[in-house]
Structure 1
Amino acid sequence: MTTYESYVTQYGQVKKIDAFAYLSYLHDHPQEPRKHGKVVLVTADTPLKASRGEGKTTTTIALIDALRARGVDAAAVLRQPSMGITAAGSKGGASGGGKASLTHPELIDWGLCGEMAAIAAAQNLLVAFAEKAVDDGRLDTIAVPRVSETPSRSLRQIAVDRGKGDVPERTVLTPTCELMQIVVLSRSMEEIAQRVSEMVAGSFEGKPVVFGDFIDLWRITNILGDAVKPALTETKQGSPVYVHCGPFANVSIGIPSLVSVELACALHDVVVVEAGYGTDAGAQKWLDIAAREFGAQWPAAAVVVTRATTWRDDPKLSWRYPFHINRLERLGLAAFPLVNLWEGEDDQVGQLRQQAADLGFRTPIIGNLFRDGGDALAEQLDAFIEALEQHDDASVRGDESLDSHRGMDTVDDIKWIIRSAYGVPAGRVLLREGFEQSLGNARELCASLGKDLDDMVVVAVKSPATMTDDDSAAEQDRSVTLKKVEVHAGAGLVQVNLTSSLTTPMPKIV
Structure 2
Amino acid sequence: MAEYLSDLEIAKRSTIRPIQEIAEEAGFPKESVEPYGFYKAKINTQLIDKPVKGKVVLVTAMSPTPAGEGKSTVTVGLSDAFRKIGENVMVALREPSLGPVFGMKGGATGGGYAQVLPMEEINLHFNGDLHAITTANNALAAFIDNHVYQGNQLNIDPRRISWKRVLDMNDRTLRQVVVGLGGPFKGVPREDGFDITVASEIMAVFCLSRDIHDLKENIAKITIGFTYDRKPVTVGDLGVQGALALILKDAIKPNLVQTIEGTPALIHGGPFANIAHGCNSIIATNTARQMADIVVTESGFGSDLGAEKFMDIKARRAGLEPSAIVVVATIRAMKMHGGVAKDELKAENVDALKKGIVNLEKHLENLKQFGVEPVVALNAFVTDTEEEVNFVKQWCAERNIKIALTEVWEKGGEGGVELAKLVKEVMDTEQNFKPLYELELPVEEKIRKIVKDIYGGDDVVFTDSAKKQLKTIKDNGWDNYPVCMAKTQYSFTDDPKKLGRPAGFEITIRELIPKTGAGFIVALTGDIMTMPGLPKQPAALNMDIDAEGNAVGLF
Q: Deviations over 1:66-114 (max 9, x none)?
A: 11111111111000011111x2141122101111112200122112100
Q: Does 1:82 align with 2:97?
A: yes
Q: Does 1:170 align with 2:197?
A: no
Give SS of 2:278's match: coil
1:30 is matched with none
Q: Does 1:72 align with 2:87?
A: yes
Is the 8 Å Cα contact of residues 75 and 272 (structure 1) preserved in structure 2? yes
2:75 is matched with 60
Give SS of 1:503's match: coil
TM-score by length of structure 1 reads 0.89
CA-based RMSD: 2.3
Give SS of 1:182's match: helix
Further displaced range: 204-213 or 149-158:
204-213
- In structure 2, C-alpha distance between the alignment counterparts of 1:3 and 1:37, rounded to whole Å: 15
Q: CA deviation at 1:346?
A: 5.5
Q: CA deviation at 1:247?
A: 3.1
Amino acid at match of 2:432: V
Is the 8 Å Cα contact of residues 169 and 196 (structure 2) preserved in structure 1? yes
- In structure 1, C-alpha distance between the alignment counterparts of 2:212 and 2:52, rounded to whole Å: 24
Give SS of 1:455's match: coil
1:149 is matched with 168
- Structure 2 residue ranges without an equivalent (≥5): 1-26, 339-354, 540-555
2:397 is matched with 357
Q: Deviations over 1:394-436 (max 9, x none)?
A: x533xxx5497333211011111222221224xx222234321
Q: CA deviation at 1:441?
A: 3.8
Rate the CA distance shift 1:100–1:189 in 2: closer, same or farther, 3 A: same
Count of equivalent residues: 481
Is the 8 Å Cα contact of residues 326 and 374 (structure 2) preserved in structure 1? yes
- In structure 2, C-alpha distance between the alignment counterparts of 1:204 and 1:457, rounded to whole Å: 25
Matched ranges for 1:345-384 at <5 A:
345=384, 347=386, 348-358=388-398, 360-384=399-423
2:43 is matched with 17
Q: CA deviation at 1:283?
A: 0.5
- In structure 1, C-alpha distance between the alignment counterparts of 2:393 and 2:215, rounded to whole Å: 47
Equivalent position to 2:106, from 68, 76, 92? 92
Q: CA deviation at 1:134?
A: 1.5
Is the 8 Å Cα contact of residues 53 and 277 (structure 1) preserved in structure 2? no
Is the 8 Å Cα contact of residues 83 and 110 (structure 1) preserved in structure 2? yes
Q: Deviations over 1:482-510 (max 9, x none)?
A: 21111112222211112331111123323
- In structure 2, C-alpha distance between the alignment counterparts of 1:343 and 1:110, rounded to whole Å: 30
Q: Does 1:48 align with 2:48?
A: no
Equivalent position to 2:204, from 181, 187, 202? 181
Rate the CA distance shift 1:149–1:313 in 2: closer, same or farther, 3 A: closer
Q: Does 1:117 align with 2:134?
A: no
Q: Does 1:494 align with 2:521?
A: yes
1:160 is matched with 179
Q: Does 1:331 align with 2:357?
A: no
- In structure 1, C-alpha distance between the alignment counterparts of 2:299 and 2:368, rounded to whole Å: 17
- In structure 2, C-alpha distance between the alignment counterparts of 1:172 and 1:114, rounded to whole Å: 19
1:438 is matched with 469
Give SS of 2:178's match: strand
Q: Does 1:408 align with 2:441?
A: yes
1:255 is matched with 279
Q: CA deviation at 1:389?
A: 2.1
Give SS of 2:233's match: strand
- In structure 1, C-alpha distance between the alignment counterparts of 2:517 and 2:297, rounded to whole Å: 25
Q: Does 1:215 align with 2:239?
A: yes
Equivalent position to 1:236, from 260, 269, 277? 260
